[in-house]
Amino acid sequence: MEKKQLQNIFGHFASGVTVITCTNTDGQPHGATVTAFTAVSLEPRLCQVTLTRKSKACSYLSDAPFAVNILAADQLDIAMHFAGRPTEPGPTWADGPCAPILKGSAAVLSCKPWRSYDGGDHIIFIGEIVEAEASGKSPLLYYRSTFHDLGEPSSTSAWSLCADDPHSGWFDSNTTFTPFHLTREQHSAQPSVPA
């Protein structure tokens, strides 16, 4: 399989967009747009970011604190800025408890270094979360090389746990779901009632 083909297949996994922020060797704020972010553990509080070895940020994160800025839907310019297309005005920085953070994000996780691992052409960084905050803003999403917004919710059911966990399964065996697009189609297909 060619590298580009695999990259396109990876792109079928929709993700949020983050900017990983830290300080450079001169102590100045630095950031990199990253979609390879995931929660790892609640106890201890851990998250993971994966950066290409070629990035400057990758060299700055070795045993260093960092912040994960989960971008809001209105921060497309910030995503592009840290992806190599600088914008004016630039980002608005603030001091975080561990590393510089970006103002206006949907959420921010401030981390101290926990572990790092060989990830092939990337390095996997695990951070211990020392502070986390959310603004309530909707997130910016990335899917198949295109930015998106969250759109309408597909269900009123909230779930956050793993069905494979015997102590906290998602749903019982009688639960059924109708995909959101089918719900809309069924609703529009119903005959109108004359007044």
Q: Given this model, what pLDDT does residue 189 score?
A: 62
Q: What is the pLDDT of residue 6?
A: 84
Domain limits, the chain: 3-148
What confidence score (pLDDT) does residue 157 get?
56
| Pairing assessment for the beta strands 146-148 and 141-143 based on DSSP bridges | antiparallel
- Which stretches of the chain drop beneath a pLDDT of 70? 11, 13, 153-175, 180-195
65 vs 56, 110, 115, 144, 175, CA distance in Å? Answer: 15, 8, 11, 30, 43
pTM for this one? Answer: 0.76
CA-CA distance, 118 to 112, in Å (whole number)? 19
pLDDT of residue 89: 83
* Record: fold of 3-148: Pnp Oxidase; Chain A (2.30.110)
